[in-house]
Chain A
Amino acid sequence: MTQPLLQLNHLSRHFGGIAALHDISARVYPGELMGLIGPNGAGKTTLFNLITGFSAPSAGTIQFRDQLINGLAAEQIAQRGVARTFQNLRVFPNMSVFDNVSVGAIGRSAYGLCDALWGRAAKRDRISAATWRALEAVGLDQDAHAMAANLSYGKRKAMEIARALALEPALLILDEPAAGLNDSETAELAALLRRLNADGLTILLVEHDLNLVMGICSRILVLALGTLIADGSPTQVSNDPRVLESYLGVESAA
C-alpha cells in the first residue's frame, strides 16, 4: 500500500460562527488525477487555501509526504513541492510571459541577492532551463517574450499553469482551470493534464465543468456545505444518491 502524498485529517475551518469546512478527511495518492467538485459556496477554495498555507485550519491537520504542513507559511509549503493556480487568475500583467513563468523556477531554487551578486551561471541556467521546459509543456514557448497583459485569456491560464510547473512540484493544485475556456481550449487543457499526470505529476483540481472532471479524473471528492459527502471513482460518484440530491439535482449526470 503506497503512502499517500497528501493527507487531510479532520480539517475544519470556522469564520466567526460559520463553519466553512467541517471534519474533512481524505487522502491523495501519488500519481492520481483527483477532482474536487461541489456547489458554489461548498468551501472548495477554502480547502485549497488551507492546503497551500494561505489560511490556517481551525482544527485538524494536513500532512504532505508524512510531514505536517498546516500552520506553515505559503512559501514554505510551495518549497516542499505543492504548487497552485488561482481561481481569479493571478498573473503579473506587466511582465513578459517568460518572466512570469520564471518566478516559479526562481522560487524552486530560492535564488536570492547573493546569487545575483556573485553566483555562478549554473543556477541561472537551471532557472532558464526549467522555465523553458514549463513553457514547452503548455505550448507557450513561441509566446515567451510577449507581455502577459496582451495574451488571450486562455493563454494566460496556460501561463499560470506553466508558472506552477516551473516550481517542479510533486502536487499541482488547480483552482477552476477551465473557467472561461471554450470547448476546444478545454479539450486542450484536458490533454495537457493527462500528459502531465502520465509523466508522474499528482494533480488535484477543482472544477465546475463536470464533463472535464468525469472525463479525466481517476477519483472525485464531492464537497457540499463544508462537508465531504462522497469520495470515489467517477462512476461511483455520479450514481451516489447523496451527490445527485445535493448537487446534480434529480437528473443523473452525463
Chain B
Amino acid sequence: MNVYKAWPRLVPLLALLAIYAGLVAAGSGYAYRVATTVAIMGLLAASANLITGVAGLMTLGHAAFYGIGAYTAALASSDWGAPPVVTLLLAGLVTSLVGLLVAWLTRKLVSVHFAVATLGVGQVIYVTMLNWVDFTRGPMGITDIPGLGAHSDAGNLAIVTAVCAVLLWGLSRIIHSYFGNALRALREDERCVAAMGLSPARLKIQAMGLSCFCAGVAGALWAHSTRYISPADFRFTESISILAMVVVGGLGSLPGALLGALILTLFPELLRSLGDYRMMAISGIMFASILFLPRGLFGEASALRLLKRHFNWQGAQ
C-alpha cells in the first residue's frame, strides 16, 4: 500500500487517536472524565451509524434507547444491587428487545415515515421517563448509582474503553461482513434487495436489535460513570446530537462516527465557559458539515477501502 496516497485519509484517524491519547496522558480527573464521555459517545454514534448510515434508515429517537439502557442499569444496580457485569448485559438485552419490538412494528415503513415513527417512539419513551415517577423517579432522576468497580477516574476510563473497544470491534466486523453488504444494498434500493431473496423487514429488525444492544450498553456505561441520570439526558435534542455525530463523520463509516463523536463532544467542552452555547455549536457544525463535506470527514468509501486493504478482505469477508 502506498503510504503517501493513503496519508490524507489517515490524518483524521490519527488525529482521533492522538487527541484521545492526549486526554489519557493529561492525567487530570477532568481529562479522564472527558475521555470517558468521548468513548461512550463513540459507541453510541457507531450504533446509530449502523441504522442510519449503513442501513439508510434515518432515526430521530436514538437517545431514547440509550436512555433505556441507562435506566435499566441504574435501577438494576440501585434497587437490586446487581454487579456491573450483569447490569451492562441486562441493559444491552432490554434495550435490544425494545429495539426489536419497535423495528418489527415499523417494518413496513420507509424513509420519512420511519424517521417520524422513531421520533414518535423516542418522545413516547422520553415522556414515560419523565412522568412514570414511581418507576423512574421522574424529573429528579436517579442519584447515587453504583460505579463500575473502579476506584478512580482513570480506572473507570480503562473499563469503559475496554467495553467500548470490544463492542466497536464487533460492529466493525458486522459492517464489513456480507450482512453489512446486505444492509448497504437495502439502503440503496429496498425493492431490489427483496428481488434478490433478502427480506428487508428481517434485515431492519436484525440491524435494530444489534444497534440498540450497543446503545443500551453505552447507556449503562454512562449511568455507572456519571452516577446520576435524568430524563433530560435523553431528550430529542440528544437524538439530534447523535445524528449530527454520524453525519459529520460520514454516513456509513464507523471511523467517521468515532470522529464525529470526538469532535461534537470535545468542541462544546472547549467552549464550556460559554455554557449554553453547546447546542448552537453542535447545530452550526452539523450545518457546515452537510454543506461543505456531504460525505463527512471520513466517508464510507474511504473507510471501507482502508479496512479492506489493511485486513486483506476481498469483496466483503
Contacts and interface: CB of A to CB of B under 8 A. Distances in A.
A7 interface: no
B315 interface: yes
A116 B178 contact: yes
Given A54-B191, A78-B194, A113-B179, A73 B174 contact: no
Nearest to B184: A95
A103 B207 contact: no
A106 B182 contact: yes
B299 to A, nearest CB: 10
B170 interface: yes
B195 A106 contact: no
Given A103-B181, A116-B178, A94 B196 contact: no
Interface stretch (A85-93, A225-233, A235-243): A85-93
Contacts of A111: 178-179, 182
Interface string B273-303: 0000000000000000000000000001100
Q: How large is the interface on B (under 10, 10 to 19, 20 to 34, 35 or more residues)?
A: 20 to 34
B111 interface: no
Interface string A58-98: 00000000000000011100110001101000101111101
Given A83-B195, A116-B178, 8 more contacts: A73-B199, A90-B192, A95-B188, A98-B315, A102-B178, A103-B185, A116-B180, A167-B197
Contacts of B197: 75, 78-79, 104, 107-108, 110, 167
B291 to A, nearest CB: 21
B199 A75 contact: yes
27 contacts: A54-B195, A74-B195, A75-B194, A79-B197, A83-B195, A86-B195, A90-B189, A92-B184, A92-B192, A93-B188, A94-B300, A95-B181, A95-B184, A95-B188, A103-B193, A104-B196, A106-B196, A107-B197, A110-B197, A112-B179, A112-B202, A112-B206, A115-B178, A116-B173, A116-B180, A117-B173, A167-B197
B198 interface: yes
Contacts, number: 115
B170 A103 contact: no
B202 to A, nearest CB: 7
A93 B200 CA distance: 19
A52 interface: yes
B226 interface: no
Chain B facing A: main interface SS: helix
Interface of A: 52-54, 73-75, 78-79, 83-84, 86, 90, 92-96, 98-100, 102-104, 106-108, 110-113, 115-117, 124, 127-128, 131, 144, 163, 167
Contacts of B178: 102, 106, 111, 115-116, 124, 127
B127 interface: no
B179 A167 contact: no
B317 interface: yes
Contacts of A100: 185
Interface of B: 170, 173-174, 177-182, 184-185, 188-189, 191-200, 202, 206-207, 209-210, 300-301, 314-317
A102 B202 contact: no
Contacts of A104: 196-197
A58 B183 CA distance: 33
A216 B42 CA distance: 57
Nearest to B206: A113
Given A78-B194, A79-B197, A112-B206, A131 B179 contact: no
